[in-house]
């Protein structure tokens, strides 16, 4: 069985997936474990032969598990805190106890309320630093209520929704089940919750769901939900990595949903209100999130927001901020398209042209920097430090959005669907998978992502991909009798992922989208509703949608046959020359669509086994020698300097040439099958004479928290040191990397919303945003560096100023603070 210790009930012992293991081998029904050190690998006494795992226990086991906490307690005594695996600290005064979590009952991986479960708290009864807990492990594990479900029957009254019927009864049943779960996901305040286990309203969850199908079915609940995520006339980025925005920057999914509501309802009041909110948020992003060098937007992967699930472990929040993710950039692109369209609707030609220009620039940048000719699909993201590289992994949601939003041209869309890796149970979020990381986003298939992928496949006309996507959505929801949050890519089972939930909102919306977006082919525009059904031959027959409310009309729709095109469309018995109906239609009408009963375009998919990349090398430099650990299954290592490959080797060391120029080295492991690891953490080789350090000077200089350089540090808050000046002399003209040494103990690295943000000015001209992500809750002694701003500086005197501007407001609004130690300038190259 697998388990983990948890200080204060939090998942903080080791990296995700690095669990302790114990083989149950009781004597007379009792067993005492080996002594496991907190935060360390399993002891030798706990090792066992893999063959023994096939044995069964004879009966229940009274198991005592022991944790060695002596090194933790000594750290509390000697330093006043203990440093966790991820660099966060726990102060002695904050230590409330150590708890046990695990996969086997009575344990679970639910860390959210573990601290409120005293039965899972270990005790040190004799004060020797060895904590123990006794649990009863039953031979026959009790199935949960969900695991015992074998039947679903409709309980709620869903008569207010359109009635769907077809020759595929399972599709009809899943449509009804999804409508019922949609009703259960509407809170008492009228907003949409994220799922059975997620009662909150989350910006990206509701937005992706609204775009899929909920604007069609629940426009008022959709509006209510979106307005829950607005403050100061700006969109709220949910809590997240490093303290939320701008490290996470996909809040603009709100715009996708808001526009869809307008095209469905034609509500002009909503259009005007939404336009102001989106415009304010987008203008802030142009100052804080846009990288003027690449033309791409900074920020974490949209929805893939559990750091180590999709990023190499060395990337901290500032590195994630500086990355350029495919899906996030697709969302930003569509946001500016939507702003342009909204401005046109509101007769503002100037703004329409402005935002159209921004969108076009983003589209060009996405295709220039993220398209992989070798893979024939887009890369996952750009990442690095002073030099960036593209991760060649596929990112399914981003690939789909690039098709749906017309970022990919007519040649690319076809080959994206044909070449993006898919697996037996569906198309995983990323491919290949990351080793030693448990299933969730990694090694996971998410039904809502599958829905977007299937929608994109239908748009392209790839029958095999549509059939595979439909099968994935139908199988998961019918087998588990609910719309699960995710499933394990390897097994197709919902059991085994880190977190899961029934009636997950975007999974519900994705299931319903199979009817509205695929079989019905609905596409809403400001002035019309158009139809482009895509019905594989396996789904042929007659299907109907009755009592469908569209603006001021009620419509009964019937579709006959299969195919990739409409042969004829009639409205109230009269043939139309177009596949759309006007937005101002009113009254009760009947639409009949006859399909062409053929699929003209041949199609294919890239069906692969679920595979894992090699692990990421840990790189160090000793004098002039690069050294890294040996990676399992690695055939060769590729060495990179400043983002470009310079050599290959089978060794685990590489001698670097002496140079007076700045160099940034990374190593990649390549497996025997050709799978590539992430690039290692960059190692900088730079001469001291090319580094300039400037102490921060201002109000309330202090030295209370250790670890600072120089004479002390200053607080930067919304009240104190709003402007901090750094007069600097540049001895040699060149391109410099500029960043700041700081600490931010206003929250942990994985959540909250207190990322500090400032604007940087050079000689009175704004040159970029400086981001100070959270580094650990109340951990003000953990010092690190901000994002890097590249700047060309001629020799001579300059004044750099760090200022708090209105565009620097974070998602907390009240607390926007950090401790500022130094400014650093590193010469990257001569002019």
Structure confidence at residue 139 (pLDDT)? 81
Q: Which two tokens stand for residue 258?
A: 């808001």
Q: Which two tokens stand for residue 621?
A: 């430099």
Instruction: Give dist(CA 319, CA 824) in Å, integer.
Output: 17
Q: From 101, 125, 142, give the residue that closes a domain.
A: 142
Question: Torsions phi, psi of 70, nearest 5?
Answer: -65, -40
- Average pLDDT (464-469) is 98
Asked whether residue 108 falls in the same domain as residue 174, the answer is: no
Residue 56 has pLDDT above 80, yes or no: no
Domain with residue 754: its CATH number is: 2.60.120.260
Residue range 665-684, pLDDT digits in tens: 999 999 999 999 999 999 99
Residue range 631-657, pLDDT digits in tens: 999 999 999 999 999 999 999 999 998
Residue range 470-507, pLDDT digits in tens: 999 999 999 999 999 999 999 999 988 988 999 999 99
Residue range 408-453, pLDDT digits in tens: 999 999 999 999 999 999 999 999 999 989 899 999 999 999 999 9
Asked whether residue 112 falls in the same domain as residue 246, the answer is: no
Residue 577 lies in a domain: no
Structure confidence at residue 18 (pLDDT)? 78
Instruction: Give dist(CA 1, CA 387) in Å, integer.
Output: 43
Residue range 572-591, pLDDT digits in tens: 999 999 999 999 999 999 99
- Of 254, 259, 142, 251, the C-alpha closest to 207 is 254
Residue 447 lies in a domain: yes
Asked whether residue 667 falls in the same domain as residue 764, the answer is: no
Residue 550 lies in a domain: no
Mean pLDDT, rounded, of the chain: 95
91-95, 272-276, 327-331, 799-803: lowest mean pLDDT where? Answer: 91-95
Confidence tier at 104 by pLDDT (50, 70, 90):
confident
- What b/e string do you get for 445-465 counting C-beta neighbours within 10 Å, with b at 16 or more? bbbbbbbbbbbbbbbbbbbbb
Is residue 304 within 8 Å of 310, Cβ to Cβ? yes
Structure confidence at residue 751 (pLDDT)? 83
Q: Which two tokens stand for residue 807?
A: 């565009």
Domain with residue 262: its CATH number is: 1.50.10.10
Q: From 537, 554, 588, give the residue that closes a domain.
A: 537
User: The pTM is what?
Assistant: 0.88
Residue 751 burial (10 A CB sphere; 0-12, 13-18, 19+): middle
576 Cβ neighbours under 8 A, 6+ residues apart: 569, 570
Domain with residue 665: its CATH number is: 2.60.40.10
Structure confidence at residue 662 (pLDDT)? 95
Residue 715 lies in a domain: yes
Asked whether residue 372 falls in the same domain as residue 440, the answer is: yes
Asked whether residue 165 falls in the same domain as residue 109, the answer is: no
Structure confidence at residue 50 (pLDDT)? 56
The DSSP call for residue 193 is: P
Structure confidence at residue 112 (pLDDT)? 73
Residue 604 lies in a domain: no
Residue range 725-756, pLDDT digits in tens: 999 999 999 999 999 999 999 988 888 899 99
Instruction: Give dist(CA 513, CA 521) in Å, integer.
Output: 9
- Average pLDDT (102-116) is 86
With DSSP H G I counted as helix, E B as strand and the rest as coil, what are the percentages for the chain, rounded to 5? 30, 30, 40
Asked whether residue 501 falls in the same domain as residue 637, the answer is: no
Residue 57 has pLDDT above 90, yes or no: no
Beta bridge partners of 544: 165, 558
Question: Torsions phi, psi of 790, nearest 5?
Answer: -75, 135
Residue 555 has pLDDT above 60, yes or no: yes
Residue range 81-94, pLDDT digits in tens: 999 887 788 999 99
- What b/e string do you get for 587-610 counting C-beta neighbours within 10 Å, with b at 16 or more? eebebbbbbeeebeeebebbeeeb
Is the C-alpha dihedral spanning 675, 681, 683, 689 positive or negative? positive
What is the domain extent for residue 322?
Answer: 146-537
Instruction: Give dist(CA 524, CA 542) in Å, integer.
Output: 23
Asked whether residue 725 falls in the same domain as residue 660, the answer is: no
- Average pLDDT (699-725) is 96
Asked whether residue 103 falls in the same domain as residue 214, the answer is: no
Asked whether residue 736 falls in the same domain as residue 636, the answer is: no
Q: Number of C-alpha atoms within 13 angstroms, CB side, residue 160? A: 9
**β-strand 30-37 against 61-68: which pairing, if any?**
parallel
Instruction: Give dist(CA 243, CA 236) in Å, integer.
Output: 12
- Average pLDDT (398-404) is 99
- Please state the domain count of the chain: 4
Residue 376 lies in a domain: yes
Asked whether residue 87 falls in the same domain as residue 207, the answer is: no
Asked whether residue 29 falls in the same domain as residue 171, the answer is: no
Structure confidence at residue 127 (pLDDT)? 95
Instruction: Give dist(CA 154, CA 177) in Å, integer.
Output: 7
Residue 663 lies in a domain: yes
Is residue 462 within 8 Å of 602, Cβ to Cβ? no
Residue 146 has pLDDT above 90, yes or no: no
- Of 771, 668, 734, the C-alpha closest to 323 is 771
Task: Considering only residues 143 and 8, tell me which one the structure prediction assigns the higher pLDDT.
Answer: 8
Residue 602 lies in a domain: no
Asked whether residue 774 falls in the same domain as residue 746, the answer is: yes
Residue 145 has pLDDT above 70, yes or no: no
Structure confidence at residue 53 (pLDDT)? 58
Residue 567: strand, helix, or coil: strand
- Average pLDDT (179-208) is 96
Q: Which two tokens stand for residue 629?
A: 């650990």
Structure confidence at residue 147 (pLDDT)? 62
Confidence tier at 349 by pLDDT (50, 70, 90):
very high
Beta bridge partners of 740: 823
Residue 148 has pLDDT above 80, yes or no: no
Residue 143 has pLDDT above 70, yes or no: no
27 Cβ neighbours under 8 A, 6+ residues apart: none
Structure confidence at residue 827 (pLDDT)? 97
Structure confidence at residue 750 (pLDDT)? 85
How wide is the angle at C-alpha 558 spanned by C-alphas 555 and 564, nearest 5°?
120
Instruction: Give dist(CA 544, CA 566) in Å, integer.
Output: 15
Q: From 96, 117, 142, give the residue that closes a domain.
A: 142
């Amino acid at each position: 069985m697998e388990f983990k210790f948890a200080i204060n009930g939090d998942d903080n012992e080791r990296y995700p997936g690095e669990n302790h293991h114990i083989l149950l081998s009781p004597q007379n029904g009792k067993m005492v474990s080996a002594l496991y050190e907190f935060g360390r690998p399993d002891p030798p006494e706990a090792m066992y032969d893999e063959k023994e795992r096939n044995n069964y226990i004879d009966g229940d086991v009274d198991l005592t598990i022991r944790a060695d906490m002596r090194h933790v307690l000594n750290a509390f005594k000697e330093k006043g805190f203990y440093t966790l695996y991820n660099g966060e600290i726990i102060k002695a005064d904050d230590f409330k106890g150590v708890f046990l979590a695990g996969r086997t009952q009575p344990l679970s991986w639910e860390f959210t309320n573990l601290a409120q479960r005293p039965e899972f708290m270990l005790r040190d009864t004799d004060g020797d630093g060895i904590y123990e807990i006794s649990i009863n492990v039953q031979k026959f594990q009790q199935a949960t209520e969900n695991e015992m479900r074998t039947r679903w029957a409709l309980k709620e009254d869903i008569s207010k929704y359109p009635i769907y019927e077809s020759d595929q009864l399972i599709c009809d049943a899943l449509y009804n089940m999804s409508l019922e779960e949609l009703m259960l996901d509407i809170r008492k305040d009228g907003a949409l919750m994220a799922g059975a286990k997620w009662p909150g309203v989350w910006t990206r969850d509701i937005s992706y769901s609204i775009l899929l199908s909920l604007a069609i079915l629940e426009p008022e609940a959709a509006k209510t939900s979106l307005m829950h995520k607005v403050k100061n006339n700006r969109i709220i980025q949910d809590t997240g990595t490093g303290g939320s925005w701008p490290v996470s920057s996909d809040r603009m999914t709100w715009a996708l949903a808001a526009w869809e509501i307008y095209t469905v309802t034609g509500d002009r009041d909503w259009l005007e209100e939404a336009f102001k909110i989106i415009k304010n948020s987008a203008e802030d992003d142009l100052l804080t999130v846009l990288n003027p060098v690449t033309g791409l937007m900074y920020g974490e992967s949209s929805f893939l927001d559990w750091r180590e699930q999709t990023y190499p472990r060395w990337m901290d929040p500032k590195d994630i901020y500086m990355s350029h993710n495919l899906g996030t950039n697709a969302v930003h692109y569509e946001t500016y398209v939507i702003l342009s369209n909204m401005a046109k609707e509101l007769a503002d030609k100037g703004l329409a042209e402005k935002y159209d220009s921004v969108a076009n620039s983003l589209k060009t940048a996405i295709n220039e920097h993220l398209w992989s000719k070798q893979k024939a699909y887009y890369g996952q993201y750009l990442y690095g430090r002073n030099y960036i590289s593209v991760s060649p992994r596929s990112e399914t949601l981003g690939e789909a959005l690039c098709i749906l939003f017309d970022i990919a041209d007519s040649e690319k869309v076809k080959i994206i669907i044909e070449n993006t890796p898919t697996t037996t149970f569906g198309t995983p979020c990323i491919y290949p998978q990351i080793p030693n990381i448990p299933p969730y986003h990694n090694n996971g298939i998410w039904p809502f992502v599958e829905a977007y992928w299937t929608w994109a496949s239908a748009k392209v006309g790839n029958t095999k991909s549509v059939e595979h996507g439909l099968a994935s959505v139908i199988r998961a929801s019918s087998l588990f009798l609910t719309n699960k949050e995710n499933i394990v890519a390897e097994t197709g089972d919902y059991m085994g992922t880190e977190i899961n939930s029934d009636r997950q909102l975007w999974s519900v919306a994705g299931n319903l989208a199979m009817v509205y977006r695929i079989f019905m082919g609905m596409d809403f525009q400001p002035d019309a509703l158009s139809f482009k059904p895509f019905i594989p031959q396996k789904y042929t027959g007659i299907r109907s949608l009755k009592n469908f409310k569209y603006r001021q009309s009620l419509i009964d729709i019937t579709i006959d046959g299969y195919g990739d095109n409409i042969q004829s469309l009639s409205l109230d018995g009269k043939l139309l020359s177009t596949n759309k109906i006007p937005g101002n239609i009113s009254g009760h009408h009947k639409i009949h669509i006859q399909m062409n009963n053929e699929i003209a375009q041949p199609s294919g998919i890239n069906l692969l086994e679920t595979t894992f990349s090699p692990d990421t090398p840990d790189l160090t430099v000793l004098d002039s020698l690069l050294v890294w650990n040996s990676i399992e299954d690695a055939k060769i290592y590729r060495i990179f300097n400043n983002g470009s490959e310079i050599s290959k080797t089978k060794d685990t060391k590489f001698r670097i040439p002496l140079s007076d120029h700045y160099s940034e080295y990374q190593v990649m492991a390549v497996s025997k099958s050709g799978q590539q690891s992430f690039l290692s953490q960059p190692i900088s080789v730079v001469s001291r004479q090319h580094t300039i350090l400037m102490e921060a000077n201002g109000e309330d200089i202090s030295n209370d928290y250790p670890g600072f350089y120089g004479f002390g540090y200053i607080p930067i808050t919304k009240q104190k040191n709003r402007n901090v000046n750094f007069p600097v002399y540049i001895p040699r003209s060149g391109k410099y990397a500029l960043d700041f040494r700081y600490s931010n103990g206003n929250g942990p690295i994985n959540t909250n919303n207190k990322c500090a943000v400032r604007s940087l000015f050079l000689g009175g001209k704004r040159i970029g945003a400086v981001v100070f992500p959270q580094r650990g809750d109340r951990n003000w002694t953990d010092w690190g560096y901000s994002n890097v701003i590249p700047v060309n500086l001629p020799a001579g005197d300059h004044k750099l100023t760090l200022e708090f501007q209105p565009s620097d407001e974070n998602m907390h609004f009240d607390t926007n603070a950090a401790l500022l130690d130094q400014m650093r300038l590193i010469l990257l190259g001569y002019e």
